[in-house]
Amino acid sequence: MGIIKSVKLAFDYLKYGEDESDVQKVRAIDDVTIDIEKGDFIAILGHNGSGKSTLAKHMNALLLPTEGTMWVDGIDTAKEPELWKVRQKAGMVFQNPDNQIIGSIVEEDVGFGPENMGVPTDEIWTRVEESLTKVGMIKHRDKSPNRLSGGQKQRVAIAGVVAMRPDCIVLDEPTAMLDPNGRQEVLRTVSELNEKENVTVILITHYMEEVIHADHVFVMDSGHVVMQGTPREIFSQVDRLKKLHLDVPQVTELAYELKKSGIDLPDGILTKEELVEELLRVSEKMKSKPQSKGTRSEKTSGGNKASGKARKKSNEREGTKK
Amino acid sequence: MFKDVTIGQYYPADSILHKLDPRVKFLGTVIFIVSVFLVRGFAGYAFVTAVLVTLIALSKVPFRFMLKGLRAILIILCITMIFNMFLTPGEVIFQKWIFKITREGVIQAVRMGVRLAYLVIGSSIMTLTTTPNQLTDAMESLFSPLKVVHAPVHEIAMMMSIALRFIPILMEETDKIMKAQIARGADFESGGIVKRIMNMIPLLVPLFVSAFRRANDLAMAMEARCYHGGEGRTQMKPLKYSGRDIVAYILIFGFLAACIFFRITRL
Ligand SMILES: Nc1ncnc2c1ncn2[C@@H]1O[C@H](COP(=O)(O)OP(=O)(O)OP(=O)(O)O)[C@@H](O)[C@H]1O
Ligand SMILES: [Mg+2]
């Protein structure tokens, strides 16, 4: 059994109508069975309202299952009387950096978790220093969080979780409110924690570029886990993802369009380097073929046109998103 | 307009006042405020002023930060002074129509003005040199005897420290919503008092909605970080008295004694 495991997990939100007897149930997740190994970097994708946050809140026992079971490090969250013991195993970072920083000084905020857990004073200080160093925020330790950038605030929030020494960190769209720089900062911090400290990371995100380096990806749609696998497996099914209203990384999209316009590329290209390599291979292959120069240049220019088209398309997509 | 509020605005610096135990600073501030209302004569105020100036110098906080707090209560200050000036009975020194200014009125107005100003500067020194968390820790510790009668001391302290942290954020948000509504043609400046209050609705509704959402998010974030009340909680910065704090207590009570002396002798 992995660090986080759920079997047939389902959850209903209760919606209250005008009078008290009018209670409606909204099924937010249904029949979710997952098993997450210790030390993995997991990404969860899904369009708005697909139940990602609801699932995440189960991993931290902020919500308890309506049906099915959720185990965190072997503890059944529905049976544990002291829920904070579950919460110290799976820390959680939320979307809005302002609404999750409790302390009015960076270091006091990082100490909040350990204080609640009853860690002795001396050790709180070691933990605070250690975790602020890990996220690269030690030089801002006595600043007010209000004076930090979004990315820095989010790193403080991560440090606050790291100070609790959890086995697992769940991040619910931690970069959604950040600019590209802040996003990079946060992502780098998270990957470092995963690689160096072997912390299990569960990242919920709308940015496909953040998913590429994950070990395993879950795709959710209307409360169900509809796809899972390595990023390459997931992103090689561009058509299916589009049906689920999801994007693919820009490079993958470009490769997909190139392939559609007749260039012989494999499915699921994830990085620029890969694409360049594959394109080189393709052009090598064409060079070695005893064909006239004309055809080849025609082919490449065709490729360029296609890439232009794909890029334009992805730009348009960006536009509509805004 | 809201940037002027200094309450809850910590100014980091390395001064002896910053290092003092917050309980000392809290009690000291209470005693200072009491003293400001105790003394009446010129010598008394000269003494209090000297102490205040020393404290400002010791705090290493630029004086303009304390003035910011004053600016926020400027209107209250003026109203108080005007009322005192015109409404205190005594020897008339200036009269026009139904308005008359008395000698006692002027003295009383100046006294009230000084009292209010010193009250604000005095408490600003405390809030500028003490983090809100330290402050609420101090209150929790000072009021902890009340736990015996089941007063929710820890909870109130926690609520206060959170309120203090969110004041600047909500202020900023108010500013933002205000500008957004002005851009849409809202008018917060003109009209009578009723109209003005009605005009506040497009400001207050989004502000409340956002405040509730924040409260909800924050509660969740606190729970996620294992918050489960004051029981079994340790402190990162537990309050411990040192020699310096004892000296400060002695000075504070010396100061109080001096002020009582000034009061009795009417100096
Ligand atoms: N507090 C709530 N009360 C009632 N229904 C809710 C509540 N929170 C979420 N839901 C519903 O549950 C479903 C799943 O919501 P959830 O927040 O888990 O989605 P999500 O995948 O995190 O979406 P997003 O990408 O917008 O964050 C949605 O249909 C939503 O309307
Ligand atoms: Mg969500």
Q: Higher-confidence residue: B12 or A149?
A: A149
Could you tell me the fold of the domain covering A4-229? Answer: Rossmann fold (3.40.50)
User: Which regions in chain B score pLDDT beneath 70?
Assistant: 1-8
Confidence band (pLDDT; 50, 70, 90) for A155? Answer: very high
Ligand 2 center to A225 CA (angstroms)? 15
The alpha carbon of residue B259 is apart from the nearest alpha carbon of chain A, in Å, by 35
Determine the residue among B155, B218, B226, B228 to mutate to test chain A binding: the one whose Cβ has the most chain A Cβ atoms within 10 Å: B226
Determine the residue among B225, B233, B237, B240 to mutate to test chain A binding: the one whose Cβ has the most chain A Cβ atoms within 10 Å: B225
- For A193-240, the pLDDT digits (tens) are 999 989 999 999 988 888 888 999 999 999 999 999 999 888 888 888
| B154–A contact, CB cutoff 8 A | no
For residue B151, the model assigns a pLDDT of: 85
- For B41-60, the pLDDT digits (tens) are 888 899 999 999 999 999 88
Q: Is the pLDDT of residue A107 over 80?
A: yes
For residue B247, the model assigns a pLDDT of: 93
| B96–A contact, CB cutoff 8 A | no
A99 lines ligand 1 (CB under 6 A): no
Q: Are strands A67-72 and A75-76 parallel, antiparallel or unpaired?
A: antiparallel
| B181–A contact, CB cutoff 8 A | no
A15 lines ligand 1 (CB under 6 A): yes
Q: Is the pLDDT of residue A295 over 50?
A: no
For residue A294, the model assigns a pLDDT of: 46
Residue nearest to atom 3 of ligand 1 (CA): A13
The verdict on a CB contact (< 8 Å) between A116 and B233 is yes
Q: What is the 3-state secondary structure (H, E, C) of chain B?
A: CCCCCCCCCCCCCCCHHHHCCHHHHHHHHHHHHHHHHHCCCHHHHHHHHHHHHHHHHHHCCCHHHHHHHHHHCHHHHHHHHHHHHHHCCCCEEEEECCEEEEHHHHHHHHHHHHHHHHHHHHHHHHHHHCCHHHHHHHHHHHHHHHHHHCCCHHHHHHHHHHHHHHHHHHHHHHHHHHHHHHHCCCCCCCCCHHHHHHHCHHHHHHHHHHHHHHHHHHHHHHHHCCCCCCCCCCCCCCCCCCHHHHHHHHHHHHHHHHHHHHHHHCC
The verdict on a CB contact (< 8 Å) between B214 and A113 is no
List of residues 6+ apart from A188 with CB closer than 8 A: none
Q: Which of B161, B220, B233 sits opposite A115 (nearest CB)?
A: B233
Number of other CB atoms surrounding residue B155 within 10 Å: 12
Which residues of chain B lie closer than 8 angstroms to A146, CB-CB?
A: 168-169
Q: Which of A104, A117, A121 sits opposite B165 (nearest CB)?
A: A104
Q: Is the pLDDT of residue A166 over 90?
A: yes
Where are chain A's structural domains? 4-229, 231-293+300-322
Would you tell me which residues 159-198 of chain A have a C-beta closer than 8 angstroms to some C-beta of chain B?
A: 160-161, 164
| B236–A contact, CB cutoff 8 A | yes
For residue B8, the model assigns a pLDDT of: 52
Number of other CB atoms surrounding residue A26 within 10 Å: 11
The alpha carbon of residue A56 is apart from the nearest alpha carbon of chain B, in Å, by 11
| Mean pLDDT in residue range A292-310 | 45
List of residues 6+ apart from A138 with CB closer than 8 A: A129, A132
A-B contacts at Cβ under 8 angstroms: 101
- For B150-204, the pLDDT digits (tens) are 888 888 888 888 887 788 888 888 888 888 888 888 777 777 788 888 888 888 8
For residue A217, the model assigns a pLDDT of: 94
For residue B90, the model assigns a pLDDT of: 75
A46 lines ligand 1 (CB under 6 A): yes
Which residues of chain A lie closer than 8 angstroms to B226, CB-CB?
A: 84, 87-88, 113, 116-117, 164
List of residues 6+ apart from A68 with CB closer than 8 A: A6, A7, A8, A9, A10, A31, A32
Q: Is the pLDDT of residue A291 over 70?
A: no
| A60–B contact, CB cutoff 8 A | yes
A48 lines ligand 1 (CB under 6 A): yes
Ligand 1 pocket mutation, candidates A29, A53, A218, criterion most atoms within 8 A of CB: A53
Q: What atom in ligand 1 is closest to the CA of residue A173?
A: 27
The alpha carbon of residue A159 is apart from the nearest alpha carbon of chain B, in Å, by 12
Backbone angles phi, psi at B81, to 5 degrees: -65, -45
Report ipTM for this prediction. 0.80
- For A32-63, the pLDDT digits (tens) are 999 999 999 999 999 999 999 999 999 999 99
The verdict on a CB contact (< 8 Å) between B236 and A128 is yes
Q: Higher-confidence residue: A188 or B167?
A: A188
| A105–B contact, CB cutoff 8 A | yes
Q: CA B205, CA A211: separation in Å to the nearest integer? A: 39
Determine the residue among B235, B236, B240 to mutate to test chain A binding: the one whose Cβ has the most chain A Cβ atoms within 10 Å: B236
The verdict on a CB contact (< 8 Å) between A104 and B223 is no
Residues less than 5 Å from ion ligand 2, measured at CB: A 53
Q: Higher-confidence residue: B100 or A166?
A: A166
User: pTM for the complete prediction?
Assistant: 0.77
